[in-house]
Structure formats: structure tokens, C-alpha cells
């Protein structure tokens, strides 16, 4: 048996520790999925083109296969870049690993549908912690949102900076948020909206290094964006007309940050036909009101280059399912009611891309 001096033993212990550390680093690198290997892209180039071209990229949330299929079919048929968004709630509902593999499958599916060079982003919607963003980046997301909008300003800056520092090491793009939207964002909810303060945006973007900024100009999440008291009644149709978005705030933000990518959350329009169909076939949606599409069209022509839509897809799916089940009460094969729901969602996504956001035909290749 050989004997080593204490200094040798310390040296060996140090070497062992270093080897362990290097091993773990290697393992981590090995474990980590890079979105580029999945055929996904980040948002940088598509946003730059969208800002220049005066259109917006659709960011559609998905929680299941039918939504994902409809999004990909619509984006392939319209030749549009697209952002697949996953919320924390979606991760809990559908399992984050399955959703990640679905997004990887989406690239292959788009190619199978005839799109040689799809531009698909896998984006975390409303990330609420550094750990969640890091975990998504390590799983192959190409873009993350860190939503510190409910935090005091300095804490929002610090948290966003931390996420940006990590994300940029892997060329993952980051969306931050300033200003508070009314309504529910996962577990964060606010009764009232607080518009973004244009005087804060330059400081926020400079200190955090974010790639895009979500702002609050009067949109909100869900199908009940405004109370009846906030609306006026359209004398022709008797429908509720919501108050206009704060375009003055958007213009002031653009002036502060010329050409910088701006994001609009809470941009569903709550199509009345779907609300009516749902109510006709046993639903009970009362006074649901969304953002009029002409206002979104106007926003898309400005520096707004990403528009988030989730509730409209939920309404389309529910309307189609209720209709099929009411008309065919003996039907019990899920494909027979999920199929029409998928068709209806696809119609909705195509309509948004072509008639509202203007991202059709905007693939780079």
C-alpha cells in the first residue's frame, strides 16, 4: 500500500472534485436539447422582418394535438412563420415533455405538408420564474417570456436580466413585460390594467437586454375583456362595443424605442358567431367581449410584431364540439367531434393570419 503526504491527498481531492464538476457539466450539456437541433427557430429574424414589413407574427397557444395540427396546417397553407406558445397551465395539463416532442414533431409535420423551410418558434408563455425559463431552454424551447410585470420595477429588471443572461448563451430570445394586463395570466390576476409607462421602456430594455417587450395598452386575457359598463352598445346590432386600445401609449413607446419589437397579449377578438353557437347549443357565455379585429390590424402595422391569441381558439373548439354533439347526439367517437373542431380552429387561424396580422407569405425561404 502506498502512502501519500497530506498535500498530495488534498491535491487528489481537488482533482477529483474538478473531474466531478467537469463530468456534471458534460452531462448537463449532453442532457440539454438545443432547439436548433429540433429544426426550431428563435424570434429574432422574424421579428425584424415583421417590424420592417408592417405585419405581426401569430403566437397561438396550444394544449393538445388538435390545436397544434390546426396551427401547423394553417401556417403551412398561408406560408406564415408561427409561434407555438405553451403556458405554465398547458405544461401542467398536457405534460411538458409531450408538448416539447409535439413541437419537434410540428417541424416534421410542416415539412410533410409541403413547407420546405418552416419557421416555427417554441415559446414559453408567461414564464414566472428563472427556474421555469431555464428548464424550458434546456428542453429545447427557442424563446421564453419572463413575466415580471406584477413585480416592483427593479425586481422585474433583475429577474428579466437573469433570464436574458442565461437564454442568450444558447441564442434563445426573451420577451419581457412592462405594465399590467387586467384578467388572469395563469395564477397571476389583476382586476384593473395599468398601462405601460413609455418613460420606463428605454431603461427597461437597456438594463435587461430583452429581445421584445410586451406592453399594456388596454387588452386583457380571456373572453371577458371588458365589463358591460366599460362598453357602449352598437345601435345597429345591439352588441357591446369595447373602448378603443390606447394607441397613444403604443405610439409613445414606439417613439422611445424606434424599430424595437413590441408584443400584444390578450388579443382575442371573441368572435360573436362562436359565442352564439356555444350559447345556442347549451352554453352560457354572457356578454363576452374581445378586441375588434380592425384595432389589431392597425397595431400589426406598427412596431407590434407578435400578437397572442388563445381564447379565440378555445371558443372555436368549444363551439364546434357543442354543435356536433347537439346535432349528432348518438356520436361518441372523439374523432367525429374533435375533427370538426380542428377544422374550425384551422379556419380561425387562417383568418387571423391573412385578414388580421398579415403574416401570410412571409416565410424567409
Closest CA to 308 of 165, 163, 177, 162: 177
Signed CA dihedral, 322, 316, 224, 156: sign only: positive
Choosing from 42, 43, 61, 80, the residue that interacts with ligand 13P (CB under 6 A) is 61
Tell me the three cell numbers of residue 289.
Answer: 367581449
**222 near ligand 13P, rule: CB under 6 A:** yes
Piece of 2-10, 198-206, 237-245, 302-310 that binds ligand 13P (CB under 6 A): 302-310
Choosing from 33, 53, 77, 89, the residue that interacts with ligand G3H (CB under 6 A) is 89
CA 27 – CA 18 distance, rounded (Å): 14
**67 near ligand 13P, rule: CB under 6 A:** no
Show the binding pattern over residues 219-248: x = contacts ligand G3H (CB under 6 A), - = does not: --x---------------------------
CA 243 – CA 118 distance, rounded (Å): 37
Choosing from 126, 346, 351, 362, the residue that interacts with ligand G3H (CB under 6 A) is 126
Residue tagged 380542428 (cell numbers): 342
CA 77 – CA 27 distance, rounded (Å): 41
Q: What torsion, rounded to 10 degrees, do the Cα atoms 79, 120, 258, 181 define?
A: 110
Task: Rank residues 126 and 362 by Cβ distance to ligand 13P and give the closer one.
Answer: 126
Piece of 10-18, 191-199, 303-311, 331-339 that binds ligand 13P (CB under 6 A): 303-311
**268 near ligand 13P, rule: CB under 6 A:** yes
* Least Å from the CB of residue 48 to ligand G3H: 25
Piece of 28-36, 40-48, 85-93, 276-284 that binds ligand G3H (CB under 6 A): 85-93
Tell me the three cell numbers of residue 349.
Answer: 387561424
> Among ligand 13P, Zn ion, ligand G3H, none, what binds residue 89 when CB lies within 5 to 8 Å by partner kind?
ligand G3H
Binding residue count for ligand G3H, defined by CB under 6 A = 10
Closest CA to 208 of 269, 252, 147, 249: 147
CA angle 81, 115, 122 (to 5 degrees): 40
Task: Output the CA–CA distances (angstroms, integers) from residue 203 to 104, 172, 197, 210, 287, in the order listed.
Answer: 36, 22, 11, 11, 39
State the DSSP code for 356: I
> Among ligand G3H, Zn ion, ligand 13P, none, what binds residue 119 when CB lies within 5 to 8 Å by partner kind?
none
211 belongs to the catalytic site: no
Task: Rank residues 110 and 124 by Cβ distance to ligand G3H and give the closer one.
Answer: 124
Closest CA to 136 of 81, 175, 184: 175
User: Which one of 125, 147, 211, 310 is the catalytic residue?
Assistant: 125
CA 226 – CA 22 distance, rounded (Å): 55
Question: Which positions touch ligand 13P (CB under 6 A)?
Answer: 61, 125-126, 221-222, 265-268, 308-312
Question: Which positions touch Zn ion (CB under 5 A)?
Answer: 265
Question: Which positions touch ligand G3H (CB under 6 A)?
Answer: 61, 87, 89-90, 125-126, 185-186, 221, 310
- Positions marked active-site: 125
Amino acid at each position: 500500500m502506498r502512502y501519500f503526504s497530506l498535500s498530495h491527498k488534498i491535491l487528489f481531492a481537488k482533482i477529483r472534485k474538478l473531474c466531478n464538476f467537469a463530468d456534471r457539466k458534460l452531462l448537463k450539456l449532453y442532457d440539454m436539447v438545443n432547439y436548433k437541433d429540433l429544426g426550431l427557430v428563435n424570434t429574432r429574424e422574424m421579428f425584424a422582418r415583421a417590424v420592417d414589413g408592417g405585419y405581426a407574427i401569430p403566437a397561438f397557444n396550444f394544449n393538445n394535438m388538435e390545436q397544434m395540427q390546426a396551427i401547423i396546417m394553417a401556417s403551412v397553407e398561408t406560408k406564415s412563420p408561427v409561434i407555438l406558445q405553451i403556458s405554465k397551465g398547458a405544461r401542467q395539463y398536457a405534460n411538458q415533455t409531450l408538448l416539447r416532442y409535439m413541437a419537434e414533431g410540428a417541424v416534421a409535420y410542416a415539412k410533410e405538408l409541403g413547407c420546405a423551410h418552416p419557421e416555427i418558434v417554441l415559446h414559453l408563455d408567461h414564464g414566472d420564474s428563472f427556474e421555469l425559463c431555464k428548464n424550458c431552454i434546456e428542453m429545447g424551447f427557442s424563446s421564453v417570456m419572463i413575466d415580471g410585470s406584477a413585480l416592483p420595477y427593479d425586481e422585474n429588471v433583475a429577474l428579466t436580466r437573469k433570464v436574458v443572461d442565461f437564454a442568450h448563451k444558447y441564442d434563445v430570445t426573451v420577451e419581457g413585460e412592462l405594465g399590467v394586463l387586467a384578467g388572469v395570466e395563469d395564477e397571476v390576476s389583476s382586476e384593473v390594467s395599468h398601462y405601460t409607462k413609455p418613460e420606463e421602456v428605454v431603461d427597461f430594455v437597456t438594463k435587461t437586454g430583452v429581445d421584445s417587450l410586451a406592453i399594456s395598452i388596454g387588452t386583457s386575457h380571456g373572453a371577458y375583456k371588458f365589463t358591460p359598463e366599460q362598453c357602449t352598445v352598437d345601435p345597429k346590432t345591439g352588441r357591446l362595443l369595447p373602448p378603443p386600445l390606447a394607441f397613444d401609449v403604443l405610439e409613445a413607446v414606439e417613439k422611445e424605442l424606434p424599430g424595437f419589437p413590441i408584443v400584444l397579449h390578450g388579443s382575442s377578438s371573441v368572435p360573436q358567431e362562436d359565442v352564439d353557437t356555444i350559447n345556442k347549443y347549451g352554453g352560457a357565455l354572457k356578454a363576452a367581449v374581445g378586441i375588434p379585429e380592425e384595432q389589431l390590424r392597425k397595431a400589426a402595422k406598427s412596431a407590434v410584431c407578435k400578437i397572442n391569441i388563445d381564447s379565440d381558439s378555445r371558443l372555436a373548439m368549444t363551439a364546434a364540439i357543442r354543435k356536433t354533439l347537439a346535432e349528432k347526439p348518438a356520436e361518441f367517437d372523439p374523432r367525429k367531434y374533435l375533427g370538426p373542431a380542428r377544422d374550425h380552429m384551422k379556419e380561425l387561424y387562417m383568418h387571423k393570419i391573412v385578414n388580421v396580422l398579415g403574416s401570410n407569405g412571409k416565410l424567409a425561404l
